[in-house]
Structure 1
Amino acid sequence: MKRLIILAQTLLLMACGAQNRNASNTMNTTNEATGALVGAIGKEEKPMVVKGSALNATTQMSFTSAEKMEGLMAFLASDDLEGRDSGSMGIEKAADFIAGIFKNNDVSPYFKTYRDTLSNFEKPTSNVVGYLEGTDPQLKEEFIIIGAHYDHIGIMGSDNGDAIANGANDNASGTSVVLELARYFGETKSNKRSIIFALFSAEEKGLLGSKHLAEKLKGEDITLYTMLNFEMVGVPMVNKDHLLYLTGYELSNLSEVSNIYAKEKLTGFLPKAKAFNLFKRSDNYAFHKAFNVPSQTFSSFDFTNFEYYHKVGDELDLMDFEHMARVVNRMIPVVEGISNAPVKEIKYN
């Protein structure tokens, strides 16, 4: 399996590193390489899925694996992407990769293409936005956004000869979680409400990608129910009785709803998240401001478990892929429950 992953990653790096003589040819080549990676990290027999139905609870709990998470992360946090700085060639390769995964898993572009160029950043850079229409004639008019930023800070001062800030935890980890949730719902089509999967650029420049999308969707007058954001979920918290914490924990009942659907204490309160006002420091905040609906971030960075925030040491080999797989598998029934509930259960206090 390791050889398959390495081979697939090599194909991806070759495809993404080619010069962009023709945009469509480059995208086609990248999609083929992306397909090789998806195939390489998911060869086990899958249960037959009837579109529009959820997998059973046991299968949900093993939908993804540490091996699959590592396969995604190995590309997103690779040196070839040069730290995914907004407006760089590296982040363009990441955008191609994300769009290819959406396409391979039957997630449609929300706009004309998967890429939505930012209007508020000086260099050309794009959010990557996928869409799954809900299956219920009424509930599909309500939207859930599942998001994470996929940019990072690029090249910085050298540390022992390494100048690439790979951003494995921040935020290739959150990006990988969103991609696996997109794969699940792309396979099952078990969402009655419509879901937008949004990977944001220019978060590190001041939450610009999420601001751009929030304002654009507000202009379309969509009915947004909730925004669920994932940020720095690559390592587990220390001595906590829950897997993740929620920013803005006390502002809504999202934690309570999440724990009911997870059938365990999946989320909880982190005092430092409130003390540092993390609710306003990630991409959830733009949707809170634009729509005034529950918009919060799930994270497992607890200020004691990771010392390489915005440093070149934020590398792949520090990530806990078993933990990341647990995050995905335990979030599946939560997102499915929220998307299928007959009424809007999540409310601001």
Structure 2
Amino acid sequence: MNRIKSLLIFAIIAVFSVSTFAQEKIHIDTTTVRKHLYTLASDDMAGRKPGTEGIEKAAQYIEGEFKRIGLKKYNNLKTYRQNFEHKGIKMFNVIGVLEGKSRKDEYVIVSAHYDHLGTKKSGEGDLIFNGANDDASGVTGVLALAEYFAKKGKNERTIVFVAFTAEEMGLVGSRYFGKDIDASKFVAGINLELIGKEPKTGPKTAWLTGFERSDFGKIIQKNLEGTGYKLFPDPYVKFNLFFRSDNASLARLGVPSHTFSTTPIDIDKNYHQVSDEAETLDVGIITETIKAVARGTESIINGKDTPTRVVIKEKKK
């Protein structure tokens, strides 16, 4: 009887140890997450509208973090910026690369848009659209994931980290990025948007746009089993969100590219308002979501899983 008890206790300890070890593998520093969020959503960035001094400051911050982390330049670019012009406005995506080991010619893109709406032209009181949730929270995720995977150093596939510009103007930055790529080499797109609030699915959950369009979401769900974190299909189908964020630019090329989000947008009073400030968000939720994305996508980044390609047929309204 004592031997049976001993074996049972040993088994429980072993399971607990394995679980604890698995949880400890994801190191995302909450202090750094807070720093990224509050910097990018600060009044000093003046709403990060393309063509303004504010977005220039945001780009410089992202570039500085890419350099600190040790990311390489993309393709033949001499800097982290992919420069182009749109409607007379000089724009730039900010791109950093973590080269893969055994499958470096296969790419996974991790993205978010760093632009927002700028400032009100007139009025009283707060005039700055800080864009904390939309989408400083997502860019925070990109920076944190870049640091996580760079420190881990075990990505078999190459990871391309991108802060897209001018998403709010019609996915301009991501469309430009997609113009000259070989889409067949991009195996997945991981886009982060509005990850700073608890969704209606409850704590430690997120939702994914276009869930039914590839098996990307099912791969994430499988990888999250036993972690206490769950991923759900987009509950806002009528809003057509799959086509309203930067994932769509790559998805239209066949890349299984989807957006992670946590925000209950149907009742969010801060969306596209000057009240979308860092203080309205939960840094803990952002941190837990980043950890979940890291764990959920790791098998794709390491080459174990390859999501099915997306076939785009936009639904008629």
* TM interval, short-chain normalised: 0.7 to 0.9
Deviates more, 1:318-327 or 1:261-270: 261-270
The residue type paired with residue 114 of structure 2 is Y
2:5 is matched with none
1:178 is matched with 142
Aligned pairs (5 A) from 1:171-210? 171-210=135-174
1:58 to 23, 27, 42: 23
1:255 to 214, 217, 221: 217
1:125 is matched with 91
Is the contact made by 2:33 and 2:287 (CA closer than 8 Å) also made in structure 1?
yes
Is the contact made by 1:238 and 1:305 (CA closer than 8 Å) also made in structure 2?
no
Q: In the aligned structure 1, how far is the partner of 2:259 from the partner of 2:209?
A: 5
Aligned pairs (5 A) from 1:276-295? 276-289=239-252, 291-295=253-257
Aligned pairs (5 A) from 1:205-284? 205-218=169-182, 223-240=185-202, 243-263=205-225, 264=227, 266-272=230-236, 274-284=237-247
1:71 is matched with 35
Q: Deviations over 1:279-315 (max 9, x none)?
A: 11000011112x2121111111222452111110001
Q: In the aligned structure 1, how far is the partner of 2:204 from the partner of 2:148?
A: 23
Is the contact made by 2:299 and 2:305 (CA closer than 8 Å) also made in structure 1?
no
Matched residue of 2:86: which SS?
Answer: coil
Are residues 320 and 283 of structure 1, via their aligned partners in 2, closer, same or farther at CA, if it must alter by over 3 Å?
Answer: same
Q: Deviations over 1:322-349 (max 9, x none)?
A: 0001011121122221111345244448
Aligned pairs (5 A) from 1:47-196? 57-61=22-26, 63-110=27-74, 111-136=77-102, 139-156=103-120, 161-196=125-160
Cα displacement (A) at 1:118: 2.5
Q: In the aligned structure 2, how far is the partner of 1:173 from the partner of 1:119?
A: 26
Q: In the aligned structure 2, how far is the partner of 1:164 from the partner of 1:94?
A: 15
Cα displacement (A) at 1:217: 1.9
Aligned residues: 288
Q: In the aligned structure 1, how far is the partner of 2:179 from the partner of 2:132?
A: 28
2:16 is matched with none
The residue type paired with residue 285 of structure 1 is A
Matched residue of 2:181: which SS?
Answer: helix
Structure 1 alignment gaps of length 5 or more: 1-55
The residue type paired with residue 224 of structure 1 is F
Larger radius of gyration between Structure 1 and Structure 2: 2
The residue type paired with residue 287 of structure 1 is L
Q: In the aligned structure 2, how far is the partner of 1:286 from the partner of 1:134?
A: 23
Is the contact made by 1:257 and 1:346 (CA closer than 8 Å) also made in structure 2?
no
Matched residue of 2:133: which SS?
Answer: helix
Q: In the aligned structure 1, how far is the partner of 2:168 from the partner of 2:309?
A: 29
Q: Deviations over 1:81-116 (max 9, x none)?
A: 100001111100110100110110111111221011
Are residues 98 and 121 of structure 1, via their aligned partners in 2, closer, same or farther at CA, if it must alter by over 3 Å?
Answer: farther
Please list every run of at least 4 consecutive aligned residues from structure 1 whose deviation after the TM superposition is greater than 3 angstroms: 157-160, 239-242, 345-349
- Is 2:280 the partner of 1:312? no
1:301 is matched with 263
Q: In the aligned structure 2, how far is the partner of 1:252 from the partner of 1:159?
A: 46
Matched residue of 1:156: which SS?
Answer: coil
Matched residue of 1:155: which SS?
Answer: coil
Q: In the aligned structure 1, how far is the partner of 2:45 from the partner of 2:291?
A: 28
Matched residue of 1:117: which SS?
Answer: strand
Is the contact made by 2:187 and 2:307 (CA closer than 8 Å) also made in structure 1?
no
- Identity among equivalent positions (%) equals 35
Structure 2 alignment gaps of length 5 or more: 1-20, 312-317
Cα displacement (A) at 1:127: 0.4
Cα displacement (A) at 1:120: 3.1
Is the contact made by 2:254 and 2:309 (CA closer than 8 Å) also made in structure 1?
no
Q: Deviations over 1:113-159 (max 9, x none)?
A: 101113434211210000011011xx221101000000000002567
Q: In the aligned structure 1, how far is the partner of 2:289 from the partner of 2:114?
A: 18
The residue type paired with residue 277 of structure 1 is N
Q: In the aligned structure 2, how far is the partner of 1:145 from the partner of 1:128?
A: 13
